[in-house]
Amino acid sequence: MPHKLTNILTSVPSDIVIAQAATPLPIDQIASEAGILPEELDLYGKTKAKVHLSIRDRLKNSPNGKYIVVTAITPTPLGEGKTTTTVGLSQALGAHLGKKVFTCIRQPSQGPTFGIKGGAAGGGYSQIIPMEEFNLHLTGDLHAITAANNLLAAAIDARMFHEKSADDTQMFERLCPPGKDGSRKFSPVMLRRLRKLGIAKTDPNELTPAERSRFARLDIDPDTITWRRVVDTNDRMLRQITIGQGPEEKGFTRSTGFDITVASEIMAILALATDLADMRDRLGRMVIGSNKAGEPITADDIGVSGALTVLMKDTIMPNLMQTIEGTPAFVHAGPFANIAHGNSSIVADQIALKLVGPHGYVLTEAGFGADMGFEKFCNIKCRYSGLKPDGAVLVATIRALKMHGGGPKVVAGQPLAHAYTQENLDLLEKGCSNLLRLIGNARSFGIPVVVAINRFKDDTDAEVALVRGLAIAAGAADAVVSNHWALGGAGAVDLGKALIAACEKPSNFQFLYSLDLSIKEKIDIIVREMYGGSGVEYSPEAEKKVELYTRQGFDKLPICMAKTHLSLSHDPNLKGAPSGFTVPVRDIRASVGAGFLYPLLGTMSTMPGLSTRPGYYDVDLDTATGRIIGLS
């Protein structure tokens, strides 16, 4: 059963000390109390498990609970405690207010975990535990994504290598070799390619010479390849590499690079797939580039999509864990919110909504600010899930609002300037422009918004009162101070009560744009209505991509803007609520399997680097006890 914390210390210890002092409940007990049957659970030790999607089928006639998305103002580089707020609010609802509740958050990348940011299990007395399991391997989903992504990358280069030295007849003979009796057969994935080509035949021997050539030769244009290898480590030296330099590759070299695993389209597919069949189809639809005639080449064409599905089959089951106060949590998928859509999985939310029932609450976190993960939650995730949120929680901190008012630069790893530790109402009021803009963003989707003022020790009562008054005047259903980091669920009880009240208000959820609009029209709406910009400027490369994707039939996909999370604009130096700026789109790429186009605004890195003093310096193992130390 959810339980209130009784051993809270006034001087809050480090996250890992708090987490290791807690005794997790057996995960099968968490599952049972959440309504999960033993046969719907695959245990991964005593504190984590995967749950079967069959829960949805069993509970398909049960009404859903209240669906809440947790977002934030535009953050500082330190983050504003959105995950901590999500967890603390869940603990308040479950352990203190007697509500059935589920927390749904993303699995973190090990890149930031060993870099500067650290883990993402929450913090203080509002955490997912065991935090070491959460922040490291968990159940291996990220490793499966890495393996699948890199198998496709290897298959692309192998196919081009072999086509280079073989004619069409030789390629067909190798792809469909005859048996001893002269018969041939297509593998299932080959039949998918034949259907795409419009060839309604299932016997290889019946193909005409022309059909054999069309089937066997992909003729990939290497200059169009967008698929890159991935690794779940911050490694700047892999951003640009040359492959094929070994003597056996016969001079077949190509410039490419690595992304971090969570940037892989396969991660986005895991988050957006609704079942195994849907995931299989999405993996097959992934476009890796074009042939020399300008036609898209997919993973199905390469012939590897079935194998990718085999590698990914267990990943689609959400990972069950618990908060420090014993409320259940799904930790599933982890796409970045600046270069992908930044939300945990659809299936986790769907299962959780059924398990909590009509009087329960599901809190799902959207990455970065309400211009980023929240906008993509509404326009991408909700389109594919069919779910409609009942409310939003918008996390704000006095610290970040002062920065938006013109405060000194906030740098990770460096002490805060005095402006952030002393009362300054003028600076704070100026910075509230960011909060007010994002309240408007959230309300434009037709749902009530509750502002959570995540309190820090130096915040004064006058500063909190100023933010609260401005937020309510701007249309927030309520604005409540929350001290869940220091007090756990007890510090978020008032926030929980405000959320319960807000969910009783009428909501009329609506999308920001119609998919029938053109690519440019959709981008323009996001820029003007979410960011406050005045227009969009396209590079020649972006203009080519608009034409290409429209011609290839991808123009009806939703838009997933790839931009900085440190500003409402494309420029991380523009703080507050800037307006009148023109957004530059330097390129547009297609994640057809995931189901969106992503315009690149400015320079976006898909592979982070390590600083001079990364977090891994502090991480070690106590060999006497086997305990991990220094993880944050």
Taking a C-beta distance cutoff of 8 angstroms, is the pair 308, 299 a contact? yes
Instruction: Assess whether pLDDT exceeds 80 at residue 215.
Output: yes
- If asked whether residues 223 and 328 sit together in one domain, one would say no
Q: Is residue 617 part of a domain?
A: no
What b-and-e string marks burial along 359-373, b requiring 16 or more CB atoms within 10 Å of the CB? Answer: ebbbbbbbbbbbbbb
Q: Is residue 616 part of a domain?
A: no
pLDDT of residue 581: 97
CATH at 559: 3.10.410.10
pLDDT of residue 351: 98
Q: What is the mean pLDDT of residues 211-215?
A: 97
Q: What is the mean pLDDT of residues 356-371?
A: 96
pLDDT digits (tens, 9 = 90+) for 567-599: 999 999 999 999 999 999 999 999 999 999 999
pLDDT of residue 334: 93
Instruction: Assess whether pLDDT exceeds 80 at residue 116.
Output: no
Known catalytic membership, residue 117: yes
Kindly give, in sequence order, each residue whose CB lies less than 8 Å from that of residue 491, ignoring residues fewer than 6 positions away: 88, 92, 125, 482, 483, 484, 485
pLDDT of residue 78: 87
Known catalytic membership, residue 589: no
pLDDT of residue 120: 83
- If asked whether residues 273 and 174 sit together in one domain, one would say yes
- CA-nearest of 61, 63, 64, 67 to 509 is 67
**Position 268 confidence tier, pLDDT thresholds 50, 70, 90:** very high
Instruction: Assess whether pLDDT exceeds 80 at residue 117.
Output: no
Q: Which one of the listed residues 239, 383, 419, 456 is annotated catalytic?
A: 456
Q: What is the mean pLDDT of residues 495-524?
A: 97
pLDDT of residue 413: 75
Known catalytic membership, residue 485: yes
pLDDT of residue 338: 83
Q: Is this structure's pTM higher than 0.75?
A: yes
- If asked whether residues 283 and 255 sit together in one domain, one would say yes
- If asked whether residues 31 and 57 sit together in one domain, one would say yes
Which range (110-114, 343-347, 488-492) has the least confidence?
110-114
Query: Of the candidates 302, 337, 362, which is a domain's last residue?
Result: 302
**Position 412 confidence tier, pLDDT thresholds 50, 70, 90:** confident
Q: Which one of the listed residues 114, 134, 215, 368 is annotated catalytic?
A: 368
**Structural domain total, the chain:** 3
pLDDT digits (tens, 9 = 90+) for 298-314: 999 999 999 999 999 99
Q: Which one of the listed residues 106, 285, 381, 586 is annotated catalytic?
A: 106
Using CA atoms, how far apart are residues 99 and 14, in angstroms rounded to an integer? Answer: 29
- If asked whether residues 439 and 342 sit together in one domain, one would say yes
- If asked whether residues 332 and 477 sit together in one domain, one would say yes
Instruction: Please report the beta strands in 8-163, taking only residues with DSSP state E, as ranges in sequence order.
Output: 41-43, 49-51, 66-72, 101-105, 122-123, 126-129
| Residue 454 domain boundaries | 15-139+314-502
Q: What is the mean pLDDT of residues 416-439?
A: 95
Q: Is residue 615 part of a domain?
A: no
- If asked whether residues 98 and 213 sit together in one domain, one would say no
**Position 566 confidence tier, pLDDT thresholds 50, 70, 90:** very high
Q: Is residue 335 part of a domain?
A: yes
Instruction: Assess whether pLDDT exceeds 80 at residue 428.
Output: yes
pLDDT of residue 100: 98
pLDDT of residue 119: 78
What length does the chain have? 632
pLDDT of residue 339: 81
Known catalytic membership, residue 106: yes
Known catalytic membership, residue 227: no
Q: What is the mean pLDDT of residues 502-513?
A: 95
Query: Of the candidates 280, 302, 324, which is a domain's last residue?
Result: 302
Instruction: Assess whether pLDDT exceeds 90 at residue 398.
Output: yes
Using CA atoms, how far apart are residues 80 and 74, in angstroms rounded to an integer? Answer: 9
Query: Of the candidates 302, 334, 358, which is a domain's last residue?
Result: 302
Using CA atoms, how far apart are residues 362 and 342, in angstroms rounded to an integer? Answer: 17
pLDDT of residue 318: 98
Q: Is residue 90 part of a domain?
A: yes
Q: Which one of the listed residues 48, 50, 100, 117 is annotated catalytic?
A: 117
- If asked whether residues 496 and 386 sit together in one domain, one would say yes
Q: Which one of the listed residues 84, 103, 298, 315 is annotated catalytic?
A: 84
Percent of the chain topping pLDDT 70: 100
CATH at 126: 3.40.50.300
Instruction: Please report the beta strands in 172-331, taking only residues with DSSP state E, as ranges in sequence order.
Output: 229-231, 241-243, 254-256, 258-260, 287-290, 296-298, 319-323, 328-331
- If asked whether residues 96 and 148 sit together in one domain, one would say no
Q: Which one of the listed residues 49, 333, 337, 348 is annotated catalytic?
A: 337
**Position 336 confidence tier, pLDDT thresholds 50, 70, 90:** confident
Known catalytic membership, residue 84: yes
pLDDT of residue 68: 98
Known catalytic membership, residue 159: no
Q: Which one of the listed residues 134, 172, 485, 581 is annotated catalytic?
A: 485
Q: What is the mean pLDDT of residues 316-320?
A: 98
Q: Is residue 507 part of a domain?
A: no
- If asked whether residues 39 and 98 sit together in one domain, one would say yes
Q: Which one of the listed residues 48, 50, 82, 285 is annotated catalytic?
A: 82
Other beta carbons within 10 angstroms of residue 152's beta carbon come to 23
pLDDT of residue 359: 97
CATH at 226: 3.30.1510.10
Q: What is the mean pLDDT of residues 91-116?
A: 94
Instruction: Assess whether pLDDT exceeds 90 at residue 85.
Output: yes
- If asked whether residues 332 and 441 sit together in one domain, one would say yes
User: In whole numbers, what is the pLDDT of the chain averaged over residues?
Assistant: 96
Q: Is residue 608 part of a domain?
A: no
- If asked whether residues 164 and 185 sit together in one domain, one would say yes
Instruction: Assess whether pLDDT exceeds 80 at residue 520.
Output: yes
Using CA atoms, how far apart are residues 632 and 627, in angstroms rounded to an integer? Answer: 14
pLDDT digits (tens, 9 = 90+) for 381-392: 999 999 999 999
Q: Is residue 1 part of a domain?
A: no
